[in-house]
Amino acid sequence: MSKVEVSAIPLAQMRTHRSTKWRDFPGDVLPMAVAEMDFAIAEPIRALLLDMVSKSDLGYLGSVPEVATSFAYFAKKRWNWIVDPEQIHIVTDVGVGAVEVLRVLTTPGDKILINSPVYHNFSTWIDETHLTKVDVPFGDAQSGWAIDFAEIEKAYRSGIKVHLLCHPHNPLGRVYSREELLKFVALAKTYGVYIVSDEIHAPLTFSESEFVPFLSLGQDAQDVGITITAASKAWNLAGLKCAFALSQGPVMHAKLQELPEATHYRASLLGAFATATAFAEGSDWLDGALKTLDENRRFLKKILSEKLPTVGYEIPECSYLAWLDLSSLNVGQSPAEFLLNKARVGINGGETFGPHTGQFVRLNFATGQDVLEEAVNRILKAL
């Protein structure tokens, strides 16, 4: 039994929200694309923000050691991972953090490895830093999205500078195992590759899976790795703008010291204190949110098996993004376009995440079960 019950805000109320999820589509569309949750935020964070706003405490961001100390506290408690607060650098968001870290680690033209399908902004960060993208895709769904280590080694050997990891993985919903991560570490050490691990979804790992922080893997991982993460995904605070990059050891610590000083000040005051509160006082809410998301990922499985049994869906190990194979529905080249036009369900098309997954869509299930059922009913009716 969770100490905090987290349930979805009713759809009519969500439709008054100002975030991009609620402005991207016309009012008759069910928006299930952007990765925000339709849940009320944790009470300690709400109280903090109300207090700051009511006191007009909205100035510039100075030193906020609470972000680092609270994350170190959370990492120890949640993952038994000892983090050095001195090696945490605040950045605006994970996107800005990734771009700034890549600027430190690379020069334009360097090769960077990704594994598609993957969070689409990996490509925008690569374009922004003028790097050359090399893609070693996962195997197909039948292979369980197998990691192609042989091709990855081949790519590393060809002179990759950075391997950008999505850990846990969006949109596949998988958590890399310790063995898989150690293989990356060994290869990275051999071929002189840096690994940047985007761990924004990590606190949302479901209890049956183990999330292994990249930098907890020991000295070799610490020599090659930088992690970028935030409280924003797990506690639903994306609009507040605060994330951080961290290292664990002298080699990468020295690299992070090269981040421009201004990177810190470009995060927001509300975001930094909300982040500190999330990690320090937000675990009960997080457990409540995970319980609701666990129910939703299973509910989605149940209604899909009843109403759209040919749709492929593996229950994800983390977060709230369902990766659905719609190829059996034969709805044309872009299932996402079909769903928007014919079912009025707004969803991310698989082509956004990589060149081989056009028949997939990504559906956000951090909403009410009534909304999930309505979405499935709309799709069924449109076929």
In this complex, which beta carbon is closest to ligand PLP, that of residue 166 or of residue 379? 166
In this complex, which beta carbon is closest to ligand PLP, that of residue 194 or of residue 320? 320
Other C-beta atoms within 10 Å of 57: how many?
A: 11
Dist CA 107 CA 103 (whole Å): 7
In this complex, which beta carbon is closest to ligand PLP, that of residue 296 or of residue 331? 296
Dist CA 79 CA 240 (whole Å): 25
**What distance lies between CA 79 and its chain's CA centroid?**
18
Q: Write down the least CB distance from residue 188 to ligand PLP, Å.
A: 20
Dist CA 174 CA 233 (whole Å): 16
Residue entry with tokens 């759809």: 11
In this complex, which beta carbon is closest to ligand PLP, that of residue 194 or of residue 338? 194
In this complex, which beta carbon is closest to ligand PLP, that of residue 308 or of residue 366? 366
Dist CA 299 CA 347 (whole Å): 18
Q: Write down the least CB distance from residue 345 to ligand PLP, Å.
A: 19
Q: Which of 27, 5, 7 shows the shortest CA–CA distance to 15?
A: 27
Task: Summarize as ranges the residues that interact with ligand PLP (CB under 6 A).
Answer: 35, 93-95, 119, 166, 170, 198, 200, 230, 232, 238, 243
Contact 125, 102 (CB under 8 A): yes
**Cβ-Cβ contacts under 8 Å for 110 (sequence gap 6 or more):** 131, 132, 161, 162
Contact 58, 269 (CB under 8 A): yes
Distances (CA, A) of 132 to 30, 111, 120: 37, 5, 15
Which tokens hold the place of 166?
């999505």
In this complex, which beta carbon is closest to ligand PLP, that of residue 83 or of residue 96? 96
Q: Which of 173, 166, 77, 50 shows the shortest CA–CA distance to 119?
A: 166
What are the beta bridge partners of residue 311? none
Distances (CA, A) of 109 to 125, 133, 330: 13, 9, 40
In this complex, which beta carbon is closest to ligand PLP, that of residue 72 or of residue 230? 230
